[in-house]
Structure 1
């Protein structure tokens, strides 16, 4: 029993340390890779694609940021003119997912991906769906 607890503690520590990426390249317009831990409005493959997000006239990056942060366990990592990256950290193992948002005309490009692991068990798709609901409630899409 002691060995199992020790191994679990070591694994959690190592996994937690692997998520410390501070700078990251903007990948908002890129399609997802081949691992099932990503969804994007820019990817046409069925298991990765998200329906378009069409913005209302009153949508702003600041309002979109508020909606995205309301999903919990989130912090703004990068914010530029029309680009926003928010990091979501899981409670137990401290895995980090990146939600990248870019305004292009009246469209919001959305890309959500786990930094580590192969599968995310649908977490990023659920997050994108929750973002869509929050943006609708705020009158932004």
Structure 2
């Protein structure tokens, strides 16, 4: 696996991560069949269709996006880490500020899962 890792979720309920162990934060990773580079392009293309997103870092098999909410302009950080050995994409989606997120981060990641289903 990569030397890089995802940031752990805080104790607050405004974060989901495929690497979290507790039920409140845990979420299933994405899987891919193509090469990591091809899968990454599919994911980037899907995210590109979503409003108010910005790719802030791409480094090897790692992506970091910012998602900005429409009304209050809150920024959420979303990280993706591709594991070429297991053909798995681990990810973390977390609000930068506040405590709760009304399930926004989990819904976003499930929406992305649907967008890339069968394409990666």
1:48 alignment partner in structure 2: 25
**For 2:116, which of 128, 132, 135 is the aligned residue?**
135
Name whichever of 123-132 and 68-77 sits farther off.
Answer: 68-77
Runs of 4+ in structure 1 displaced over 4 angstroms? Answer: none
2:66 alignment partner in structure 1: 87
1:34 alignment partner in structure 2: 11
2:94 alignment partner in structure 1: 113
Q: Distance in 1 between matches of 2:67 and 2:7?
A: 20
Name whichever of 60-69 and 81-90 sits farther off.
Answer: 60-69
Q: Which has the higher helix share?
A: 1
Unaligned runs of 5+ in 2: none
Is the CA contact (8 Å cut-off) linking 2:6 and 2:79 kept in structure 1?
Answer: no
Please give the TM-score of this superposition, normalised by the length of structure 2. Answer: 0.86
Q: Distance in 2 between matches of 1:60 and 1:118?
A: 33
- Aligned to 1:43, what secondary structure does the other structure show? coil
Please give the TM-score of this superposition, normalised by the length of structure 1. Answer: 0.74
1:125 alignment partner in structure 2: 106
Q: Of the two, which has the highest radius of gyration?
A: 1
- Aligned to 1:60, what secondary structure does the other structure show? helix
How far the C-alpha of 1:28 sits from its partner, in A, is 5.0
